Structure 1
Amino acid sequence: MAADFPKPVIHGGTGKRERENTGNNLLDFSASLNPLPPEFTWSCASADLAIYPDNEYHRLKECIARIFHRDRDEICVGNGSIELIRVFCSVVLSDRKTYYAGMPTFGEYDLSARLAGAVPATSEKTADVTFACNPNNPTGDLSTRSDMLKCSRTAALHRGILFADEAFIELADPAQSVVRDAGESLFVLRSLTKSFAVPGIRFGYGFGDPDLIARIETTRPPWSVNAYAEAFALAAFDHLKDLEKSRAYIGKEREFLEMKIRDLGLQCHPSQVNYILVDCTRDAGPLCSELANRGILVRDCSSFGLPKSIRVAVRTHEENAQLMEALAACVR
């Protein structure tokens, strides 16, 4: 790899690889998924596997349009939210345009922008695209809808775009979403992966100005949403209201974890979603290794520029108790 070519972003969710490498069934707190996802029956007809998907995804987009009160031509879909980040950047940020992503945040914004040929801006007030992860990964901060709309208006002043990534917002407070406000200066990204705990089914969707959406849909690879992902998404969208129960459970378990973590003398960044950023006051690498030896995977936040921090997911109460038992043994 050339010295000036960007390196891949480090992600959590390494449980599958660790199980394959070690043969151990580890608890993966490095992947932030809904610990209490809605339960429902869904299926993919065998006949649908024998034909190509509808590359314009009429039925899927009509379902999304009905739920979110948007026009179908304002909706794009893709093979996970990261595909849409890559395609968006390819469409919007070529020819050395500028982008801004406040740190620490999801590393795919920077990587996708750089792959498209963009360069960092010094401020969101001048950037062609400002990336805003809401809730933010890894901190768990949640901006209000009014604050996000203010950022969108700031972007509009210089004909920029606010890219609002709401991949986790259904597990925080969907009332703060700007999904119904997307327009010429606002693109909103969503995902089903986190809310329904299905990282193996890659499905992301977004909302924006029809002209931008048309360019994204033309640029995205054909048939990138496969038949299984489409079938699951159509079923899942009927259960968005069931996530209210998930949010209540996450809030209760997050309080439990924060209390136990602070009892160990560690600091938690205030979170409003299903993960917690923990300041370990020391290099997090050895701690992550110690926890892995005890069957627990957590997210080393060095790649976020936070070498003394870890991010832990909020899982079931029994699993959270196991995390705390292992963490207590490692830090005392």
Structure 2
Amino acid sequence: MMRVHGGSDAQGVPRWDFSTNANACGPCPAVAAELREADIGRYPDPGYRALRGALAAFHGVAPRRVIVAASASEFIMRITACLARAGGQRVWLPAAAYGEYAHAAHAWGLARVDDPVQADLCWLCEPASPTGAAEPQWEAVIRRDAVVVLDRAYEPLRLSGASLLRSEDADRIWQLWSPNKALGMTGVRGAYAIAPLHAQAWIDRLEQQAPAWALGAHAVVMLQAWTQAETQAWLAQSRATLRAWKAAQQDLLGAWPSLPSDANFFCMRAELDAGFLRSRGIKLRDATSFGLPGLWRLSVQPPAAQTALRDALDAAGASREPGRPKRAIPLGGTARSAKGAS
């Protein structure tokens, strides 16, 4: 299976990158400063006891329930492997979803089923990727006795709405967190999962399958900084900025229909020349690999990037729907631009 992702490619780093969902306000300055001071001359504690304690306190759980991972993708592969080795045979995942869920299932020979009731392993992501919306089969999945993993990569970047996860269900499922997106530093790899309340056997399996020193010094620093009040205050401030930018960006692209989204990204339907846009330094995410042909996923980007996108679309002569005239778009990114944000 060929992996398809946004971001850097054979042509290098896009000047205006709408293809990945990292926080466009980042990197978080406070965390970046701590990363510059990271001690790279020594091994981290292989048990990550201080880090797991900080993450546990941040989420209000026991430290034994915190599983550190080299990345969200590494955890996806590891828990799928543990499921397969325990005799699991079937997986359910949303119709349009992050490709690593299917990649891991394929690698370990799990059959994909259409009904979550038949699955041994179920995946959820909310807000969902690529749409940024809620998963319509939430109730059917969250109430399953199977291994259920909720990928919460974009919960810190939620710009509207509220999580469907109820407090009474939070201790029954796995919650996977990858803060590097919210911090705007996807080049630093590191993630963690919160185990269900009564899952010691699964915790043991996952720990046995983990490589030694899954996290390097930079990942440890990033995840510890994630729990700090200063970092969370910056994140809250960035969400306000992203709401304003999102309103302006959706206004800019208002001639093309877009899907509802609560996150810092959304999908729109359009016929676009990706090669031409890339030649102008702009990269969007073709949603075909998500199973959504004809749709493009765009992350919310700052005013300068939006101006470049508008100019490139005009230069490409991208067709608009009949009756939708070209409009002047305010790109100031101020709070007044937040009108109509979703």
| CA contact 1:30–1:297 (8 Å) conserved in 2 | yes
Aligned counterpart, 2:179: 192
Residue identity over aligned pairs, in percent, reads: 24
User: CA offsets per residue over residues 266-299 of structure 1, 9 Å max, x none?
Assistant: 111111111121111x4x5xx1111011110111
Residue 271 in structure 1 maps to residue 265 in structure 2 = no
For 1:167 and 1:130, the matched residues in 2 are separated by 16
Q: What amino acid is the match of 1:257?
A: Q
The amino acid of 2:163's aligned partner reads Q
CA contact 1:207–1:213 (8 Å) conserved in 2: no
Superposition pairs for residues 237-316 of structure 1, below 5 Å?
237-238=227-228, 239-263=231-255, 266-280=256-270, 282=271, 284=272, 287-316=273-302
- Whole-Å Cα distance in 2 between the matches of residues 293 and 165 of structure 1? 34
Cα separation, partners in 2 of 1:301 and 1:244, compared to 1, 3 Å: same
Q: Does 1:137 align with 2:129?
A: yes
1:50 maps to what in 2? 41
Distance 1:230 1:149 in 2: 35
For 1:179 and 1:289, the matched residues in 2 are separated by 44
What letter corresponds to residue 112 of structure 1 in structure 2? A
Structure 1: unaligned runs, 5 residues or longer: 1-6
Residue 12 of structure 2 corresponds to 19
Query: 52, 68, 75: which is aligned to 1:77?
Result: 68
Matched residue SS, 2:122: strand
Structure whose residues are more often helix by fraction: 1
Matching residue's letter, 1:316: P
CA deviation string 1:248-272 (max 9, x = no partner)? 2212211211122123xx1111111
What is the identity, as a one-letter code, of the residue corresponding to 1:19?
G
Amino acid at match of 2:11: E
Superposition RMSD in Å: 2.3
Q: Distance in 2 between matches of 1:45 and 1:318?
A: 31
Q: Name the amino acid aligned to 1:190.
A: W
Taking the aligned partners of 1:271 and 1:122, their CA distance within structure 2 comes to 24
Specify the alignment match of 2:2 in structure 1: 8
- Structure 2 distance, partners of 1:44, 1:10, is 31
Aligned residues: 307
| TM-score (norm. length: structure 1) | 0.85
Q: CA deviation at 1:200?
A: 1.0
Q: CA offset at residue 317 of structure 1? A: 1.8
Instruction: Name the structure 1 match of 2:82.
Output: 91
**How has the CA–CA distance of structure 1 residues 234 and 96 changed in structure 2, closer, same or farther, with 3 Å as cutoff?**
closer
> Which residue identity does 1:293 align to in structure 2?
S
Q: 8 Å contact 2:132–2:265 — kept in the other structure?
A: yes
* Structure 2 spans left out of the alignment, 5+ residues: 320-342
